[in-house]
Amino acid sequence: MGEGLVEVGDCRAESCASTRLCLLLVGWELRGCWGFWLAFFLRYSIDTHTDVFCVINRLGLITEMDMISKRAQAVDTSGIRRVFELAAALKDPINLSIGQPDFGAFPEVKAAARAAVDEDRSAYTLSQGIPQLRQKLRQKLGIENDDLDVLVTAGVSGGLLLSYLCLLDPGDEILIPDPFFCIYRDMAYMVNAVPTYYSVYPDFKLSAERIEASITSKTKAIIVNTPANPTGYACSQEELDEVVELARAKDLYLLYDEIYDVFCYDSKHPSCLHDYDKAVALNGFSKSAGVPGWRMGYVAAHRELLDAMIKLQQYTIVCANSIGQWAMLEAIDHDFSSLLADYRKKRDFIAEGLSGKYEFVQPGGAFYVFPKAPGGKGQEFVERCIEKNLLVVPGHVFSEHDTHFRISFSASLDVLERGVEVLRSLA
């Protein structure tokens, strides 16, 4: 009879494992006379359409956590939190964990932002973005007709969220690289979609063949990120073309995250926006203009999808921040060549420092290296680094595996030198 209590039919209670366990235990404990009356009471509540959830809640069997949606509970930040906790204990660490550029906003961008504030450009903008910025972005992307258009978003993260919301129904699969930029996976949980993976280990190459092997009848979209976080791998136009052909053959959307496009050290950054009508280009200014906190990004896509995204932006974020939009008019034309030379120097420095001691793929872009962890366990190795005051990120934050660790070389040469010294001593 006690176990019978578990059958209580409120879906919120049923769906919650901890509540079910509580009911089971209560039922078992009180399986004598009390158990009978409790079961009778709950059964009666259902029969009379009383809100069973309230009854259970009043009995104190539902914790606050049980009230949080499953989508929020599915997002697990414990891995990165553990690193933050360990890092918090450090005084003045050698910080090679940072995923943002080490330069600030360009002077002309700051001046444009100040002017926008002075001119009171503080009203809501059109959800799609101010026409002046959209026009400049269209030019930059070579968009000449109305089939393709641009939406200004709250960073690339904002564009990704809108893409997920507009493309993925519950149960749909989104195929992401492994290793991946962490929100690709967790955003899928947020929209009740299913992240599936195509492995790019061990060489981090983009391979249509590997992607094809992971496509199922439920796959709706593929994400390609190049230059990639956390591997630094920059794919070629040929590699990307093969994935475009695969997406076309399977009729899948291709979400193309090119946020690190200006950080390409050895080759030209490839593009696919004009080659496929289901290509979605996601880009922004967090990395290329040194303004990650301003939350400035954009999406370029074909009309139907873009209109859906604009509609959802209107009812969620409303618009990207107005001051930032005016300031980004200046960021688009910034000459990035000296910063690129500077970052190439950092890339060369770190690659030289690791060579002979670590197994790694030379990064062709972004500002990350993703070496194999000595001993094979990312978390354990990062804890050893932290003991030596060096902050890097374990591979499991970006992957289903924890065999590697991420170094960000977005730091001064002095910091990189100190970091390399520690890394060499730990190899």
Judged by the rule CB under 6 A, the positions of this chain that interact with ligand PMP are 99, 155-157, 181, 225, 229, 257, 259, 284, 286, 292, 297
Count of CA atoms in the C-beta half-sphere (13 A) of 30: 15
Token output for 315? 């009812």
We find the least distance from the C-beta atom of residue 340 to ligand PMP, in angstroms, to be 18
We find the least distance from the C-beta atom of residue 335 to ligand PMP, in angstroms, to be 21
| Sign of the C-alpha dihedral computed for residues 407, 297, 181 and 341 taken in this order | negative
Q: How many of the other CB atoms lie within 10 Å of CB of 66? A: 18
Closest residue to ligand PMP, Cβ-based? 155
Burial tier of 189 (Cβ tally within 10 Å: 0-12, 13-18, 19+) = middle
We find the least distance from the C-beta atom of residue 35 to ligand PMP, in angstroms, to be 53
Measure the CA–CA gap between 20 and 61, rounded to whole angstroms.
Answer: 9
Q: Which is nearer to ligand PMP, 292 or 374 (CB)?
A: 292
Task: Give the gyration radius of the chain's Cα atoms.
Answer: 25
We find the least distance from the C-beta atom of residue 408 to ligand PMP, in angstroms, to be 10
Q: Which is nearer to ligand PMP, 27 or 284 (CB)?
A: 284
Q: Which is nearer to ligand PMP, 16 or 150 (CB)?
A: 150
Measure the CA–CA gap between 374 and 216, rounded to whole angstroms.
Answer: 35
- B/e letters for 12-21, b = 16+ CB within 10 Å, e = fewer, are ebeebeebbe
Q: Which is nearer to ligand PMP, 4 or 292 (CB)?
A: 292
CA torsion angle for 319, 325, 224, 392 (degrees, to 10)? -100
Backbone torsions φ then ψ of 34, nearest 5 degrees: -60, -40
We find the least distance from the C-beta atom of residue 157 to ligand PMP, in angstroms, to be 3
Q: Which is nearer to ligand PMP, 46 or 317 (CB)?
A: 317
Q: Which is nearer to ligand PMP, 61 or 397 (CB)?
A: 397
Token output for 254? 């291709």
We find the least distance from the C-beta atom of residue 59 to ligand PMP, in angstroms, to be 43
